[in-house]
Structure 1
Amino acid sequence: MNITVDYQLTRNSYGKLVLMNQFGIMHEGVVPIRAFPITDPNHGIALIDSQGHELMWINQLEDLPQHYRELIESELAQREFMPEIKRVSKISGFITPNTWEVETDRGETVFILKGEEDIRRLSATSLIITDNHGIHFLIQDRLALDRHSRKLLDHFL
């Protein structure tokens, strides 16, 4: 269902998203959630209320009016922090927990990997690595990494 003139999406004075439905009911603190955040981020987005109930389903972001699309994209950008690893510089050891030094699309960082179970395959070539603080790091294509990075990563796969 697309947002039409029957719906209004705004931001209140506290910066929270507010959805007014076709019956005039206001829902404050609306949160957009992607159904497929990595594999298909622009399709299938639910707007949910503070109790987790789905208020609206958006098939495609492109179908929304620009103002609504910008509001949702802004909210998603604040909620979804997932740096993409471009290079693995160093790993402190091959027994977990260990410390990883990596270069991401957001700069260099260091994190602790608690256990090998915190490296999850999304596809044959893409991975998600979760650090000890719950931050997710994406490797879009491990085969596209440099040789040194692949060699270090292969110890955990």
Structure 2
Amino acid sequence: MTLHTSPSTASALAAGWDLHRNPHGRLVLRAADGTAHVGVTPVRAFPIAAPGEGLSLVGPDGHELAWVPRLEQLAPAVRALVEEELAAREFVPTITRIRSVSSFSTPSTWEVDTDRGATQLVLKGEEDIRRLEGRTKLLIAASDGLQFHVPDVTALDRASRKLLERFL
């Protein structure tokens, strides 16, 4: 496995490192020299476009401690810890159906079905719908800051696509 580290920790982590949870459930990055960094947070470089590529392990002060080019390069136990932490941090429900929209002007309240269940979201403005990778992938930011993902607009049912087209 290749692990690139920031200049300040390069010598400590190059020879070996360990990632584990402490008794309080926080991630701890232990360098080869025994230095422990408590409260490490994994952060994806490209969470939607390339979720398995480019992962930074960031300390509680916000500084990068280590860089992992590909998530698959991590040992299975370490990868499981990282994926568990990422799942808790990255809550981006996928919209599977748009049931109704309160108004075709913004702000508007949307009733949607997601992979996590039915919910409502308030769209503040049309600019809160961003296209990703071409024309079929969308990221929708609700007024409360929650992000919703539409992986393929063409996979939505006809009524959902028709409602969505009013805002694109």
User: TM (normalized to structure 1)?
Assistant: 0.95
Structure-1 residue corresponding to 2:71: 61
Q: Which runs of 5+ in 1 are unaligned?
A: none
Structure-2 residue corresponding to 1:93: 103
What letter matches 2:158 in structure 1? R
What letter matches 1:92 in structure 2? S
Moved over 4 A (4+): none
CA offsets per residue over residues 15-41 of structure 1, 9 Å max, x none?
Answer: 110001123211111000011111211
Q: CA deviation at 1:43?
A: 1.3
Q: 1:89 & 1:4 partners in 2: Cα distance?
A: 52
Q: 1:62 & 1:50 partners in 2: Cα distance?
A: 24
Pair 1:36 & 2:84 matched: no
Pair 1:140 & 2:146 matched: no
Structure-2 residue corresponding to 1:120: 130
C-alpha RMSD of matched pairs (Å):
1.4
Where 2:87 maps in the other structure, the secondary structure is: helix
Q: 1:136 & 1:73 partners in 2: Cα distance?
A: 19
Pair 1:102 & 2:112 matched: yes
Pair 1:20 & 2:40 matched: no
Q: 1:98 & 1:156 partners in 2: Cα distance?
A: 11
* Identical residues among aligned pairs (%): 51
Q: 1:88 & 1:143 partners in 2: Cα distance?
A: 13
Q: 1:56 & 1:90 partners in 2: Cα distance?
A: 45
Pair 1:131 & 2:150 matched: no
What letter matches 2:52 in structure 1? N
What letter matches 1:26 in structure 2? A
What letter matches 1:143 in structure 2? T
